[in-house]
Amino acid sequence: MALFGRSGKAAVEKTPLDGVDTVLADLDGVVYAGAGALPYAVESLTRAAADGRRLGYITNNASRTDADVAAHLRELGLDRTAPEEIVTSPQAAVQLLRTKVAPGATILVVGGEGLISEVDRAGYIVTASADDAPAAVLQGFSPDIAWTQLAEAAFALKVPEEEGGIPWIATNTDWTIPQARGIAPGNGTLVSAVHIAVGRLATVAGKPETPIFEEAITRFGARRPLFIGDRLDTDIAGSQAAGIPSVMVLTGVDRPKHILAAPSTSRPTYILEDLRQLFEPYPATHTDGIRTTVRDAAVQIDGTELRVVSPGTRPIDLLRAASAAVWGSGRAIFGFHVAEQLYADPFIHP
């Protein structure tokens, strides 16, 4: 690649992968949707790894084991994926547990096989009863959780932590879990049921909290990681809190309107249509205080109007320019009248 930096004419724009030694990816909405792979995900991640980078996956889903997830990824074509490459919220929860309770202790586990096996593997005794005097409660999602298990958790957590009560760790607090037939209550909803009963708050291991990112950084020895996610409130907020540059990819849950409205705590470093753009030079954002430009796309804020000055050739550049303009304004999105073109969503794959 030619470099013009020394002559001072034009610095070559870098790709999001330049200098990155470890690519950390969320799974649902980034690699796959349900059982099937998303367009370009498998080949792009394979290519990123072929360039000498480590690949790792970070998932809040606590219902499957790392081995199950690795097998799924191998089926999709990520041939050499080993269980160690999957960092799950149960693993992060157990790491967090270790900082509070020594192995050998009895732990009340509310959750599925993914969580039970991690707690057991770490040398703790698993129980389902508050009568066994557990030293902590660990709670993760499983479709089989019943009221009886939530009740056991509540009984075990009746003493507030500040009065000597035992620790309560949740794998994650995603409110919803998408299913083939629609949106269903996620672990956050079930944790909330216990919270309302006992008046205590759980410590959370999964995204957007940082323990799951810290577990990944340690495990992969990452020095220059890049995280790829599809949700601002978990993926991007979490990587920002953990100090990791992030890619927001438009193949999953969050859409352009969410990106424009992203609070300052969940703004991605890069916005990509799909993972092929990991290998493309990422265009610089220019602003003269009035106009914000990315390549040939430009927007302008006039009072409460967020206007399109030039739509440019690529809709993604227009979204990048508009996001930069809104974020740089220091004003909330609801204070703007936004041109319809800016929150249109031409990025949905067929």
Q: Is 85 one of the binding residues for Mg ion (CB under 5 A)? A: no
Residue type, 342: L
Residue closer to Mg ion (CB basis): 78 or 322: 78
Q: How many Å is the maximal CA-CA distance in the chain? A: 74
Shortest Cβ 28–Mg ion spacing (Å): 4
Residue closer to Mg ion (CB basis): 152 or 254: 254
Shortest Cβ 229–Mg ion spacing (Å): 6
First to last CA, the chain: 34
Shortest Cβ 235–Mg ion spacing (Å): 6
**Helix or strand or coil: residue 243?**
coil
Give the position of tokens 């990819």.
Answer: 249
Is the backbone of residue 343 left (phi > 0), alpha (psi -120 to 50) or beta? alpha
**C-alpha closest to that of 228 among 201, 250, 258:** 250
Residue closer to Mg ion (CB basis): 29 or 111: 29
Q: Using the Cα atoms of residue 163, residue 175, residue 332 and residue 282 in order, give the sign of their dihedral.
A: positive
What are the beta bridge partners of residue 246? Answer: 227
In 10 A of CB 16, how many CB atoms? Answer: 25
Residue type, 162: E
Catalytic residues, which ones? 26, 28
**DSSP annotation of 283:** P
Shortest Cβ 166–Mg ion spacing (Å): 31
User: What number of chain residues touch Mg ion (CB under 5 A)?
Assistant: 4
Contacting Mg ion within 207-236 (CB under 5 A) = 230
Q: DSSP string of 296-349?
A: TEEEEEETTEEEEEE--S-HHHHHHHHHHHHHHHTS-GGGSEE-HHHH--TT--
**DSSP annotation of 222:** -
Residue closer to Mg ion (CB basis): 42 or 198: 42
Residue closer to Mg ion (CB basis): 16 or 312: 16
Residue closer to Mg ion (CB basis): 26 or 233: 26
Shortest Cβ 249–Mg ion spacing (Å): 9
Contacting Mg ion within 5-34 (CB under 5 A) = 26, 28-29
In 10 A of CB 71, how many CB atoms? Answer: 14
Shortest Cβ 30–Mg ion spacing (Å): 6
Give the position of tokens 């050998």.
Answer: 104
- How far CA 169 is from CA of 60, 250, 289, in Å, comes to 14, 31, 46
Which residues of the chain form contacts with Mg ion (CB under 5 A)?
A: 26, 28-29, 230
